[in-house]
Chain A
Amino acid sequence: EVQLVESGGGLVQPGGSLRLSCEASGFTFSNYWMSWVRQTPGKGLEWVANIKQDGSERYYVDSVRGRFTISRDNAKDSLYLQMNSLRAEDTAVFYCARDNSAFEFGGQGTLVTVSS
């Protein structure tokens, strides 16, 4: 069973930074692409970024490219999202997901609120 535990969310001012973490268990983490997906009441579900098994390829949605960085540590079965220059429109629940034939979610997500 895919188990993913997201953490690191919180309240941050516009222009600030946060680092999200996702700890994986129940599968061989290093064998899979991984993604971050966010959800807002207004825009719904939005894919944010993904990363290849060895970290050699990373892709981002246009709205976060240059501000967010996805990374992973296969020794720790962990996925990360460094978010800089945060904007109000980044306010969302962030989920990590195993990126297989589709997204496999396994956690409760972590809430990021960008507000002054």
Chain B
Amino acid sequence: ETVLTQSPATLSLSPGERATLSCRASQSVSTYLAWYQQKPGQAPRLLIYDASNRATGIPARFSGSGSGTDFSLTISSLEPEDFAVYYCQQRIKWPPTFGQGTKLEIK
């Protein structure tokens, strides 16, 4: 199966700062990569699909980029509600797989 490795495991930043999260695939997934945000006690929320497309209702401060094996999620200016765990996920190689997550915490 395709392994997705996210880095860093934890990212400590302050509101207003820029956050860049990385996801590396063990084999090419083209642009079939999604990003999710999860807060405690809640289901994951889709942010980005197909590497760079924002899901409905997602603020413009969230952006995704990359193709092949290297991807990134950027939050241009952190809001207090953005501190959460973020997961990447690929859907082109069976079975669909998720990364282990990056915890974005308040510094």
Which A residues form the contact surface with B (CB < 8 A)? 35, 44-47, 59, 61-62, 95, 100-109
Contact = CB atoms under 8 A, between A and B. Distances in A.
Contacts of B41: 108
Contacts, number: 52
Contacts of B53: 101
Contacts of B99: 44
A49 to B, nearest CB: 10
B46 interface: yes
B87 interface: yes
A66 to B, nearest CB: 15
Interface of B: 34, 36, 41-46, 49-50, 53, 55, 87, 89, 91, 94-101
Contacts of A61: 95
A105 B34 contact: no
A41 to B, nearest CB: 11
B96 A47 contact: yes
Given A44-B87, A44-B100, A105 B46 contact: yes
Chain B facing A: main interface SS: loop
Nearest to B95: A61
Contacts of B43: 95, 105-109
Given A44-B87, A108-B43, A101 B98 contact: no
B94 A101 contact: no
Contacts of A44: 87, 98-101
A76 to B, nearest CB: 22
Contacts of A95: 43-44
Contacts of A47: 95-98
A102 B46 contact: yes
